[in-house]
Structure 1
Amino acid sequence: MNYQSPQYSPNTQFSIFPPAVKHLLIINLLAFVALSTPVVSEYLFTYGALWPIDSGRFGVWQLISYMFLHAGFGHIFFNLFALWMFGQAIENFWGTNRFVLYYFLTGIGAALLHMLIGGGGAPTLGASGAVYGILLAFGMMFPNRPIMLLFPPIPIKAKYFVAIFGAIELVSGLTRTNSGVAHFAHLGGMLVGFILIKYWGLKSEDSYY
């Protein structure tokens, strides 16, 4: 999928690889390589994954570190592709500082909701919660931008695209569909993102025209 982006932002410069997105991509890729290396993979998994509180392995730093570890190529590819695709628009629109704060707060919120509702006994990995927060922000900041789906190849407005994804995650979480997927982490990222956007009083691009 892709979206058609008008060259507009409250900031004067537009970059397809703004600083925060670029560094997040690099750090995630380096962590993925390290996690694939036998020498350090066990250490990273033991201390970096998000473990249940009652597991005896939980550490508060894992609320952040889990976002940089991924379980396989498909996992990291889709997360980083979505982070770049939607994140660069949000960072350019908001600025780097607000984007970074939003990214980590949604990731932490995703972890907390997952632990509270959908945890289970297995550790959790991945940036998906924060990425879903970014997706939510894109739908709220650019609600009428068209996103071209791959299957079927039709355009859909961002606000509807995000609503569909949110509904799928909610139904999947409640019905335990796709066991092993942290649906409530995804929903947690979206929920915290919605709260932050409302609390900060952020406006969509449409309000600037």
Structure 2
Amino acid sequence: MPPISPMVKNLLIANVLVFLAVQALGTNSDFALQTILFPPSEEKFQVWQLVTHAFRHDGFQHLAFNMLGLYFLGPMVEQRIGPKKFLTLYFVALAGAVIFHLASPTISIWQMQQAYDVFMADPSLENFNAFFSGRDLRALVYGNQNAATAAGELEDLFAFGDYSGDVVAEASALMQQMMDYRRGAPMLGASGAVSGVAAAFAVLNPNTKLSPLFIPIGFPAKYFIPFLFLIDLVLGVLNLAGDNIAHFAHIGGAVFGALLAWYFVKTTVPPHMKRWS
């Protein structure tokens, strides 16, 4: 691996500085809330969030995972196409991640709508639980209480056979708020842009062998990296319980990064091959 390159170094520093600032100011501070990306349909949306969210991370592990990917793969991509084109690729991949992420709730909302319709046609404890299966309610406020508490109270009422109109209406309102919340779920992290860098690496260095962590077997990048994004696609479609990863953002970043890298392959002379005039 070549030494750390200029743009990769600057991006690493920027991400770490923003992370430290959030830790110092608090995750509920105005700075923290104004720098994650809310959907454009939300009142909290600000245009700068399209960029700032890529420098925000939900904890040290999230930051470390993304920065390690950038550190190991980024320098070789930057060395091949040059600093300016590398920075362009990074933010084009970020744009692809945003586009795919904002479109991705369609699948989840469709699944929730199907479960909602089943419950309304046949209100039962089983159908109520089926709607909320795998849904993280801890961050959602319903009325003057946490949505998880409200769901637990409704579950108790259904368990004791209370299917009165008021109780079903309350369950319906909670379900609709959950769907609204899913539509407005915020996004943060550099993973979409880093996915673009990874995909670009596979385009630019297809036969370079990469090894998964703690596995001493290398696989050509042209097979290994697409396989990782195939897993992302499967998990994004399955939408498994408790999975809060923005899989479609990864895919969007990878698609845009790979396409731009392919274009650069056709049009860019590697910096180390350029002659002095």
> Could you say whether these structures have the same fold, taking a TM-score greater than 0.5 normalized by the shorter chain as the test?
yes
1:120 is matched by which residue type in structure 2?
A: R
Once the two structures are superposed, residues 148-203 of structure 1 have per-residue CA deviations (whole angstroms, 9 ceiling, x without a partner) of 22343311111111111110010011111352110110001011112223344358
Q: Contact 1:67–1:127 at 8 Å: present in 2 too?
A: yes
Cα distance in 1 for residues equivalent to 2:27 and 2:227: 39
Please list, as runs of the form range in 1=range in 2, the aligned pairs for 1:173-188 lying within 5 A after superposition.
Answer: 173-177=236-240, 179-188=243-252
State how far apart, in whole Å, the 2-side matches of 1:72 and 1:188 are: 23
Taking structure 1 as reference, are residues 125 and 40 closer, same or farther at Cα in structure 2, changes over 3 Å only? closer
Is 1:35–2:3 an aligned residue pair?
no
- Which SS does the other structure have where 1:22 is aligned? helix
- Greater radius of gyration (CA): 2
Structure 1, gaps ≥5 residues long = 6-14
Identity percentage of aligned residues: 37
For 1:10, the equivalent position in structure 2 comes to none
Distance 2:28 2:10 in 1: 21
Q: Which residue of 1 aligns with 2:228?
A: 165
Distance in 2 of aligned mates of 1:89 and 1:41: 37
Identify if the C-alpha distance between structure 1 residues 198 and 138 changes in structure 2 by more than 3 Å, giving closer, same or farther.
closer
Match of residue 46 from structure 1: 33
The aligned amino acid for 1:141 is L
CA distance in 1, matches of 2:197, 2:250: 11
1:194 paired to 2:181 = no
Q: Which moved more, 1:113-122 or 1:156-165?
A: 113-122
Counterparts of residues 113-124 of structure 1 (less than 5 Å): 113-118=100-105, 120-124=183-187
Secondary structure of the corresponding residue to residue 184 of structure 2: coil
Equivalent positions of 1:68-107 (< 5 A) are 68-107=55-94
Distance in 2, matches of 1:39 and 1:196, equals 37
| Equivalent position amino acid for 1:20 in 2 | M
How many matched pairs? 193
Give the superposed CA RMSD: 2.2
Give deviations 1:22-78, integer Å, cap 9, x for gaps: 010001000000011136861222211010122211122111110000000110001
Residues of 1 paired with 2:235 and 2:38: CA distance? 22
Looking at structure 2, the residues matched to 128 and 83 of structure 1 have their Cα atoms a distance apart, in angstroms, of 9
Q: Aligned residue for 1:64?
A: 51
- Counterpart check, 1:147 vs 2:210: yes
The answer as to whether partners of 1:133 and 1:189 remain within 8 angstroms in 2 is yes
- Which one of 107, 119, 136 corresponds to residue 199 of structure 2? 136
Question: 1:124 is paired with a residue of what secondary structure?
Answer: coil
After superposition, give the CA deviation of every residue in 1:92-149 in whole Å (9 maximum; x if it has no partner).
1110000000001111220121012237322111000000000001111101111122
CA distance in 2, matches of 1:40, 1:162: 33
Following TM superposition, the consecutive aligned residue runs of length 4 or more in structure 1 with deviations greater than 6 angstroms are: none
